[in-house]
Amino acid sequence: MGKANDRKLSLLALVAMVVGTMIGGGAFNLISDMGTEAGGLAILIGWLITGVGMIALGLSFQNLTSVRPKLDGGIYSYAQAGFGDYMGFNSAWGYWFSALLGNVAYGTLLMTALGHFLPMFKGGSNLPSIIVASLLLWCVFLLISRGVKNATLINMIVTIAKMIPLFLFLVVLVIGFNFDTFMTGFYGMTDQGPKSFDFQDIMAQVKSTMLVTVWAFLGVEGAVVFSSRAKQRRDVGKATIIGLLGVLIIYIMITVLAQGIIIQNQIGELSNPSMAGVMEQVVGKWGAVVINIGLIISVIGAWLGWSLLAAEVPNLAAKDNIFPAWFGKDNHNHAPIHSMLITSLIVQLFFITLLFTDKAYNFAFSLASSAVLLPYAFSAFYQLKSSRQHSRKQTLIGAVASIYSIWIVYAAGLEYLLLTMILYFPGIFVYQHVQKLHDRPISKMDKILFGVITLLALTGVYFIISGKVSNF
């Protein structure tokens, strides 16, 4: 029993998992990802909406881990418990692909950061970049195969290390902040100059930030996914809220204060990572070097954290008889070896496809953000459903989280909904196979959902072929 408990994760390790997966490479590019199309007011409103929504979602996770302790799969088991096997399967499937694509984005951004020092990697999606990213991918595979406990310890160390350049950057932002510069772009700008207040335009700017903010908070459920490995179950909820609030404060400061350094209509001209460009403008070239080193450390840590999540979810789903049993195989180090192997192979395949697009990072992070919307939404819906007759407070939390989940699906837009359905489409055949193996019938509602997903996926393919999708 003692040895088994030694393999369990402490509160600090769980907090590091949440912070480490949320503050990845995306934090270093938030300034341009949000500020290119949005002024200071829209960014503040965007973070207000996201903060309220994500805190409600985090509180939902905290409550559900407490009142539904047997649901160890967290992000997918809530959907299964509340809405049936197929919704549980889709939540696991969508979350898995979100984590996969997150790793693809991190690999691309890591190579872009290395390109600051070694021009051969410039852009992050050429052949040398793909080769090195692939080598790192399989190094992560070998590390995790030695045990989840060892990997989370390294993740904790890396998380602490990457906070140093972030805090240095925040100090520089505070010192260099110019209020007049900030107010010039407060309502947004055109090439001709500042915009005046226009409610519809401000809300359009806010909408443009939504997928970016989801990407920034991907990983808030990190502790929930590993709830079965926590030393004390109550630490899961604590870790989620501590990590969420801390990261929210950091993100707001980064994106808002930066608009007092560089005028809003020039932010889109910054190269990845945009944080390096801002730092260089204030302190000189050494600042860009520090940020790029911090980015490399951060991406490696986030890549490790997301590799753990990407392997853990299908492994747990297989043990719950939602995924094929093959995914549930652990090695002698208690690492999800089969799940990790197929995950790494799919990431490798995506790396190869990046040779054919010049928007690799933006496409990968946007699709990763879109794929996780369904798992988030059904976790919120389950919080609302399970709390209605027991607690007004928890019902309110579930209602806010549910409204936020619906809002971000709308804000993501039709293009990403269709592209996401292409990812969900192959899952239909995997789900049918698993149901047949366990002698479980396919319900009429399941068949209707098969048809809806198939129709949307085919529409997505048509849009891609006809050039109506502009995300590539």
- Say if CB 215 and CB 368 are below 8 A apart: yes
Position 25 scores a pLDDT of: 64
Distance of alpha carbon 72 from alpha carbon 57, whole angstroms: 17
Position 336 scores a pLDDT of: 84
Tokens of 293: 């080193």
Position 398 scores a pLDDT of: 92
Percent of the chain with pLDDT over 90: 24
Position 223 scores a pLDDT of: 57
Low-confidence ranges of the chain (pLDDT < 50): 1-6, 472
Position 73 scores a pLDDT of: 60
Which amino acid is it at 239? Answer: A
188: left (phi over 0), alpha (psi -120 to 50) or beta: left
Position 44 scores a pLDDT of: 93
Tokens of 55: 């805190």
Position 428 scores a pLDDT of: 95
Nearest-CA neighbor of 256 among 278, 230, 272? 278
Position 447 scores a pLDDT of: 94
Tell me the average pLDDT of the chain. 83
Tokens of 386: 């399970």
Position 226 scores a pLDDT of: 60
Peptide bond into 324 cis (omega under 30): no
Could you report the per-residue pLDDT of 242-268, keeping only the tens digit for each? 888 888 888 999 999 999 999 888 888
CA distances from 405 to 83, 89, 412 (A): 16, 19, 11
Distance of alpha carbon 430 from alpha carbon 153, whole angstroms: 34
Domains of the chain, each with CATH number or no CATH: 2-412 (1.20.1740.10), 414-472 (no CATH)
Three-class DSSP labels, the chain? CHHHHHCCECHHHHHHHHHHHHCCHHHHHHHHHHHCCCCHHHHHHHHHHHHHHHHHHHHHHHHHHHHCCCCCCCCCHHHHHHHCHHHHHHHHHHHHHHHHHHHHHHHHHHHHHHCCCCHHHCCCCCHHHHHHHHHHHHHHHHHHHCCHHHHHHHHHHHHHHHHHHHHHHHHHHHHHCCHHHHHHCCCCEECCEECCCCHHHHHHHHHHHHHHHHHHHCCCCHHHHCHHHECCCHHHHHHHHHHHHHHHHHHHHHHHHHCCCCCHHHHCCCCCCHHHHHHHHHHCHHHHHHHHHHHHHHHHHHHHHHHHHHHHHHHHHHHCCCCCHHHHCCCCCCCCHHHHHHHHHHHHHHHHHHHHCCCHHHHHHHHHHHHCHHHHHHHHHHHHHHHCCCCHHHHHHHHHHHHHHHHHHHHHCHHHHHHHHHHHCCHHHHHHHHHHHCCCCCCHHHHHHHHHHHHHHHHHHHHHHHCCCCCC
